Amino acid sequence: MTFQDFNFKDTLNQAITDAGFTEPSPVQADAIPLILEGHDLIGQAQTGTGKTAAFGLPVIQQMSGNNGVEALVIVPTRELAMQVSDELFRFGKTAGLKTATVYGGTPYNKQIDRINQANIIVATPGRLQDLLKSKRIQINPKFVILDEADEMLDMGFLEEIKNIFTFLPTERQTLMFSATMPKQIKILAEQILDNPKSVTITKKDRTNTDISQIFYVVADYERDDALLRLIDFKNPNKCIIFCRMKKEVDRLSSYMTAQGFKVASLHGDMEQKQREHTIRSFKQGLVDIFIATDVAARGLDVNDVSHVFNYHIPFDSESYVHRIGRTGRAGNKGEAITLVSPNELRTIKRIEKDVGAVMVSDVIPTRKEVQVRKDSDLLNKVVSTEITAAGIDMVKTLQHDMDIVAIAHMLATIVQQEVDVKGKDIIGLGTEEVKALIERAKNFKGGDRNGGGRGRGRNRSRSRSGGGNRDRGGRSGERRGGGNRDSRNGGGNRSSRNGGGNRDRG
């Protein structure tokens, strides 16, 4: 089956082609025909399966494009509002459709101006209710969509949703999408939907089959060391690290920045402009690692996230589903990694049972294993690198002072430690940069730098764990202060250094 089978209008087909879509996902294949037939719909599907296109494409197909708001999408978070709005704009721009994004923390007047020009509104419940109750806007949408309905329930928006629907026309097509279907959501569906059709996945499909799920047992005081070594070993393209509390996000962000990682963070105490800048930096590849509370689990849509790390296991199964759903998107493979203490193993079993997934246990790689992996990655990169004139000139210059083996070793080490693989690798260096690298190679002294920098050009050469570290055969035994303790992969359970106390979830 292809998108051509839906007989969309030419402008919409062009937008689908421009987006690189070819075959619909299962939720799209099931939902789109029902929506085109005019049915109200309840769609239950896990995150990352293409729900925005599942409702956006058939709704845009049926829109006239005349003045006024024809479609209203209600979402739980500002981040998700921006993501959904961007995607709907991408689908509708060839037809001349305009979108407006409505959420708190920004001036009313600007949003009202955009609403007055828009065909599609994507809004969070709080700000939308304020605008409707104060009569600052009056809208008459033909299509109303609730996206991530269960999250809106969890965030306490149920009453706002009910109030919003009192301002909406009774003659409308209403669509509800939710990863789970708790009792209150079912009751809400009965109140706002008219004889709906259902698109539902089975429980065993709750987590994406493209995501490998692994957990590592560590003591609480070992979490930082274990996390850094796993990032070194896995070498993710982009990754998200989820923490339970805001102060964990701030502390871990500062710690990893000090280690030389390119890090951005997100939690509920951040101002809106800062949140938007942070997300934009991550999407554009300006930072490699995103550290967040669960506030980001619903609203962050980045297709090239290769790994998700759970610094702590989440409080409930639904949070786990939504966290790991940030990877393995758009047909890509992903890996979800969870750090647990020995007394959290029961929680792992409960989550496995709840979501119908299998989480595989593994051990933290040793320093030697990390270095072997990094050497292998570098070798593969060198083998696949295009030979350029600049590279040849560099080698010729160095041959006057040393043999070819020494040249290869030194250049490989320098490139691994200090050159940004994303834009400044050896094949793209300019003349002055080549000269500088030659001088560095000539002065290179070699020596044991504890495995070199942490890959990917992050310029991190010092030991992450302090002095006097012993490798415990795959277990994260080093302590940052330098004292040598054999944790035996999670034995000796200690209170976390990351702070206990209030469970502020961001």
Q: Indicate the pLDDT class of residue 172, thresholds 50, 70 and 90.
A: very high
Residues 181 and 38 in one domain: yes
Tally of domains within the chain:
3
Residues 257 and 195 in one domain: no
DSSP 54-92: HHHHHHHHH----SS--EEEE-SSHHHHHHHHHHHHHHH
Asked if 242 and 297 touch (Cβ cutoff 8 Å), the reply is: yes
Once rounded to an integer, what is the mean pLDDT over residues 433-441?
A: 56
Residues 116 and 231 in one domain: no
Closest to 478 in 3D by CA, of 227, 214, 243: 227
d(CA 274, CA 448): 40
d(CA 255, CA 263): 10
Residue 455: per-residue pLDDT: 42
Residue 266 backbone dihedrals phi, psi, to 5 degrees: -150, 130
Residues 63 and 125 in one domain: yes
Residue 292 backbone dihedrals phi, psi, to 5 degrees: -150, 160
Cα 409 to its chain centre, rounded Å, is: 36
Burial zone of 186 (CB within 10 Å; 0-12 exposed, 13-18 middle, 19+ buried)? exposed
Residue 297: per-residue pLDDT: 57
Cα distances from 385 to residues 103, 152, 426, in angstroms, run 47, 49, 9
Sequence-distant (≥ 6) Cβ neighbours of residue 33 within 8 angstroms: 6
Residue 456: per-residue pLDDT: 43
Residue 437: per-residue pLDDT: 55
Helices 317-324 & 345-355 angle (0-180, nearest 10): 80
Asked if 206 and 46 touch (Cβ cutoff 8 Å), the reply is: yes
Among residues 313, 348, 365, which one ends one of the domains? 365
Residue 251: per-residue pLDDT: 94
Residue 350: per-residue pLDDT: 79
Residues 108 and 247 in one domain: no
d(CA 133, CA 167): 8
Residues 218 and 301 in one domain: yes
pLDDT above 70: residue 10: yes
pLDDT above 70: residue 305: yes
d(CA 233, CA 242): 19
Residue 466: per-residue pLDDT: 40
pLDDT above 90: residue 338: yes
Residues 330 and 375 in one domain: no
Where are the strands (E) in 261-388, listed by range? 263-266, 289-292, 307-310, 334-340, 360-362
pLDDT tens per residue across span 391-420: 677 777 777 777 777 777 666 666 555 444
Residues 226 and 338 in one domain: yes
Helices 51-62 & 26-36 angle (0-180, nearest 10): 20
Least confident of 176-185, 296-305, 484-493: 484-493
Mean of pLDDT over the chain: 78
Where are the strands (E) in 147-270, listed by range? 173-178, 197-200, 211-217, 239-242, 263-266
d(CA 344, CA 332): 30
pLDDT tens per residue across span 55-114: 999 999 999 888 789 999 999 888 788 888 988 998 999 889 999 999 988 889 999 999
Supply the CATH number for residue 168's domain.
3.40.50.300
Residues 352 and 376 in one domain: no
Helices (H), 284-357: 295-299, 317-324, 345-355
Residue 126: per-residue pLDDT: 94
Residue 420: per-residue pLDDT: 42
pLDDT tens per residue across span 234-277: 888 889 999 988 889 999 999 999 988 889 998 877 777 788 88
Give the angle subtended at the CA of 25 by the CAs of 19 and 31, to the nearest 5°.
Answer: 105
Among residues 394, 410, 442, which one ends one of the domains? 442
Residue 415: per-residue pLDDT: 58
Once rounded to an integer, what is the mean pLDDT over residues 308-320?
A: 83
Residues 265 and 304 in one domain: yes
Rg for the chain, CA atoms, rounded: 26
pLDDT tens per residue across span 35-48: 999 999 999 876 66
d(CA 244, CA 310): 9
Residue 83: per-residue pLDDT: 81
Domain span including residue 321: 211-365
Residues 77 and 174 in one domain: yes
Once rounded to an integer, what is the mean pLDDT over residues 471-479?
A: 41
- Does the pTM surpass 0.75? The reply is no
Residues 272 and 136 in one domain: no
Residue 441: per-residue pLDDT: 54
Closest to 105 in 3D by CA, of 300, 270, 247: 270
Asked if 476 and 461 touch (Cβ cutoff 8 Å), the reply is: no
Residue 328: per-residue pLDDT: 83
Asked if 341 and 217 touch (Cβ cutoff 8 Å), the reply is: yes
| Comparison of pLDDT for 481 and 292, the residue scoring more | 292
Residue 432: per-residue pLDDT: 58
Residue 301: per-residue pLDDT: 72
